[in-house]
Amino acid sequence: MKFATVAIIGRSNVGKSTLLNRLLGEKIAIVSDKPQTTRTRILGVVHVPDGQIAFLDTPGLHKPQHLLNRRMVRTAVEALEEADLLYVLMDATSLPGPGDLAAVDYVKEAIAKRPRPAVLVVTKIDLVNKFKLLPVLESYGKLYAWTEVVPVSSETGDNIDRLLAVTMPFLSEGEGAYGDDMVTDQTMRTLAGEMIREKILQATEQEVPYSVAVDIDQFKEENGLARIYATILVERETQKGIIIGKQGERLKIISTQARQDMEKLFGMKVFLEVWVKVKEAWREDERALADLGY
């Protein structure tokens, strides 16, 4: 057997979770167009001939403004430090910015402590004209002495096979760390909460998505039916009103869409009941963060 751990890192919104889902061939990480969607480390295991690759999706590297965000950045840095190989993601639709430069600094610091390969993965190439892509690749390529540079589209799957191919030589001899049927460490309970949060991210704007958390109060599975009771936490009454919507219409849409996704992933019927609760400044509350798994 051969094995390696790969950290997927980069600034917010470069497509880390979308890449993980593409590599696994199924959706285990929520995605949205909002920065800082991923808040925890998510393990995804790809089984290859005679080996395993354990991918670690991480929160985006950013300047933290709350205790929650500081923990998110710490989670990303810890994954960066422990991985055998680094995928450093950068967005083909823009030239290097401050967030990308900060990510490279984190990479340099980690590799100075323990040398290992760092692959530059330039994402979202399906959104860029091929003639405009080359200068973008050159700009990112100059930021560091990358082991490999692989442009990909996680949406279309373009070049994903090549990304795996350049990864394979860096797998080390050793037993696989996970069972043959394991794909992720995310429990059904955790996935349910994240699916609800994803629908909120898609349905709301401004400060609301960043002030929302989802707590699964009960998860009961019996006779092919999952009964799920969840609480959406917000920090202000105005945010509660936004999520509920006029006559409860927005909350109904969020719940219905989340339930449909759960049924598809879990392969069973789902009964979902959701409440919205105000908990002021929960992002700065040590106990609240611990209870929510952050």
Q: How far is CA 124 from CA 134, 183, 266, in A?
A: 14, 24, 29
pLDDT tens-digit profile of 215-229?
999 999 999 999 999
- Predicted TM-score of the model (pTM): 0.95
Q: Indicate the domain borders of the chain.
A: 2-173, 188-291
Q: How does pLDDT run across 123-136, given as a tens digit for each residue? A: 999 999 989 999 99
Tokens matching residue 174: 């050793």
- Map residue 53 onto helix, strand or coil: strand
Q: Fold for 2-173, please state it.
A: Rossmann fold (3.40.50)
- What DSSP string runs through 128-183? S-HHHHHHHHHHHHTTS--SEEEE--TTT-TTHHHHHHHHGGGPEES--SS-TT--
How many angstroms separate the CA atoms of 234 and 243, rounded?
9
Q: What gap in Å lies between CA 150 and CA 6, rounded to an integer?
A: 15
Pick the CATH number of 188-291 from 3.40.30.10, 1.10.10.10, 3.30.300.20, 3.30.565.10: 3.30.300.20
* pLDDT, tens only, 43-70: 999 999 889 999 999 999 999 999 999 9
pLDDT (tens, 9 = 90+) of the chain, 294 residues, equals 899 999 999 999 999 999 999 999 999 999 999 999 999 999 999 999 889 999 999 999 999 999 999 999 999 999 999 999 999 999 999 999 999 999 999 999 999 999 999 999 999 999 999 899 999 999 999 999 999 999 999 999 999 999 999 999 999 998 778 988 899 999 999 999 999 999 999 999 999 999 999 999 999 999 999 999 999 999 999 999 999 999 999 999 999 999 999 999 999 999 999 999 999 999 999 999 999 999
Which residues have C-beta within 8 Å of that of residue 186, sequence separation ≥ 6? 28, 42, 43, 194
Give the CA angle between residues 225, 198, 289 to the nearest 5°. Answer: 95
User: Could you give phi then psi for residue 161, rounded to 5 degrees?
Assistant: -60, -40
**DSSP state letters, 142-157:** TTS--SEEEE--TTT-
